[in-house]
């Protein structure tokens, strides 16, 4: 059993991972380079817990769960964490820089896990002196609601590390699947080409954004349409994923639509900035 974890990056994913870990009784240190993002995260975690409580779906009490989450901007506080889960922006240089720092700070047997959607675990692990302790632990958005975790191994990840992270996933109430270190692992390898195709369809005027979403919901039985889902994921994150796949597979099917690139340049990143394919400013 793991008793304490560190989570680095308190955006959409990091705050969800911290919430679920605290709900499961673990002590959590939550870090972000941006102190405002940390404050925002704890407010959102409280709201998420209160929503669950109001629907009678929370084991335990909101304030007790929140006392298990310690906010910090100081990476040195991760020296004694049993497992550190990284959920910072989807950028390989940033992640490699962070893993090199954690390698210096953390105890020698601390497992360093990445929630990356697309970046090679082998590449991230190569920035450390402990590649056998580096692993992918890929959660899905929103973390409290989504059942799956993909555990992904880099070329040097040890069986013991994979077993421990699989057990941690189960301790957090998730179902775990294991995947090799190929771009996109399992789910995103299948999902991202569909999202990209939906954006091309919209860009080319094949249908309105509402009709594209409605068609996929009703015609394929998906809970939400692909453009709505792209907005939920974050268009910057989706663009970064496309670029990694395009380089990784060398396959034009992953070439990012120009419209996606324009939206990201304009700061239209989806729900998190209030505008993406849809306008969320008044919602
Ligand atoms: P986000 O943009 O919401 O949050 C990223 C956070 O990382 C920001 O608060 C930022 O201030 C912080 N950050 C950036 N560099 C940092 C550093 N060096 N040290 C500490 N904090 C730093 O991003 P999101 O969506 O939470 O994604 C995080 C990771 O999770 C990415 O690798 C992404 O690919 C992955 N992921 C995202 C999913 C999604 O649906 N958005 C789903 C599954 C995985």
Determine the residue of 38, 43, 85, 89 to mutate for testing ligand 1's pocket, defined as the one with the most ligand atoms within 8 A of the Cβ atom.
Answer: 89
User: How far is Cα 194 from Cα 72, in angstroms, rounded to an integer?
Assistant: 38
Please give all residues whose beta carbon lies within 6 A of any atom in ligand 1, as ranges. 8-14, 31-34, 37, 87-90, 94, 98, 115-117, 138-141, 233-234, 237, 272
90 CA to middle of ligand 1, Å? 6
Residue nearest to atom 36 of ligand 1 (CA): 117
Res 10: pLDDT: 98
User: How far is Cα 228 from Cα 241, in angstroms, rounded to an integer?
Assistant: 17
Contact partners, residue 191, CB within 8 Å, separation at least 6: none
Please state the rounded mean pLDDT for residues 245-251: 88
**Tens of pLDDT along 168-206?**
999 999 999 999 999 889 999 999 999 999 999 999 999
| pLDDT higher than threshold 80 for residue 283 | no
88 CA to middle of ligand 1, Å? 4
**Strand boundaries in the chain, DSSP class E:** 4-8, 27-31, 69-72, 83-86, 111-114, 134-138, 148-153, 175-179
Categorize the per-residue pLDDT at 118 as very low, low, confident or very high, splitting at 50, 70 and 90: confident
Instruction: List residues with catalytic annotation.
Output: 117, 138, 150, 188
Res 195: pLDDT: 97
| pLDDT higher than threshold 90 for residue 253 | no
Closest CA to 24 of 11, 9, 39, 5: 5
90 annotated ligand-binding residue: yes
Please state the rounded mean pLDDT for residues 266-270: 98
Q: 8 - beta bridge partners?
A: 31, 86
Q: What percent of the chain has pLDDT over 90?
A: 94
**Tens of pLDDT along 50-102?**
999 999 999 999 999 999 999 999 999 999 999 999 999 999 999 999 999 99
204 CA to middle of ligand 1, Å? 30
Determine the residue of 14, 15, 20, 88 to mutate for testing ligand 1's pocket, defined as the one with the most ligand atoms within 8 A of the Cβ atom.
Answer: 88
Query: Contact, 234 vs 269, CB < 8 A?
Result: yes
174 annotated ligand-binding residue: no
The domains found in the chain, sorted by start residue, are 4-180 (3.40.50.720), 188-272 (1.10.1040.10)
Closest CA to 43 of 81, 71, 77: 71
Query: Contact, 193 vs 254, CB < 8 A?
Result: yes
Determine the residue of 237, 238, 244, 270 to mutate for testing ligand 1's pocket, defined as the one with the most ligand atoms within 8 A of the Cβ atom.
Answer: 237
205 CA to middle of ligand 1, Å? 32
User: How far is Cα 97 from Cα 80, in angstroms, rounded to an integer?
Assistant: 20
Please state the rounded mean pLDDT for residues 202-211: 98
């Amino acid at each position: 059993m793991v008793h304490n974890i560190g989570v680095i990056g308190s955006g959409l994913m990091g705050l969800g991972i911290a919430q679920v870990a605290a709900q499961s009784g673990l002590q959590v240190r939550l870090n972000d380079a941006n102190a405002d993002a940390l404050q925002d995260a704890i407010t959102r975690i409280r709201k998420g817990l209160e929503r669950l409580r109001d629907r009678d779906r929370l084991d335990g009490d909101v304030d007790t769960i929140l006392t298990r989450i310690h906010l910090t901007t100081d990476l040195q506080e991760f020296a004694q964490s049993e497992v550190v889960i990284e959920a910072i922006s989807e950028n390989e240089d940033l992640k490699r820089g962070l893993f090199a720092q954690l390698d210096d700070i953390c105890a020698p047997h601390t497992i360093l896990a990445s929630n990356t959607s697309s970046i090679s675990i082998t590449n991230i692990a190569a920035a450390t002196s402990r590649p056998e302790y580096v692993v992918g632990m890929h959660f899905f958005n929103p973390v409290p609601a989504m059942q799956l975790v993909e555990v992904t191994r880099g070329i040097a990840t040890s069986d013991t590390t994979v077993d421990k992270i699989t057990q941690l996933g189960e301790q957090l109430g998730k179902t775990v699947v294991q995947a090799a270190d190929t771009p996109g692992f399992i789910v995103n390898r299948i999902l991202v080409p569909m999202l990209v195709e939906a954006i091309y369809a919209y860009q080319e005027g094949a249908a309105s954004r509402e009709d594209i979403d409605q068609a996929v919901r009703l015609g394929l039985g998906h809970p939400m349409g692909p453009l709505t889902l792209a907005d939920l994921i974050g268009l910057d994150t989706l663009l970064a994923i496309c670029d990694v796949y395009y380089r990784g597979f060398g396959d034009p099917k992953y070439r990012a639509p120009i419209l996606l690139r324009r939206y990201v340049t304009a700061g239209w990143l989806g729900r998190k900035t209030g505008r993406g394919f849809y306008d969320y400013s008044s919602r």
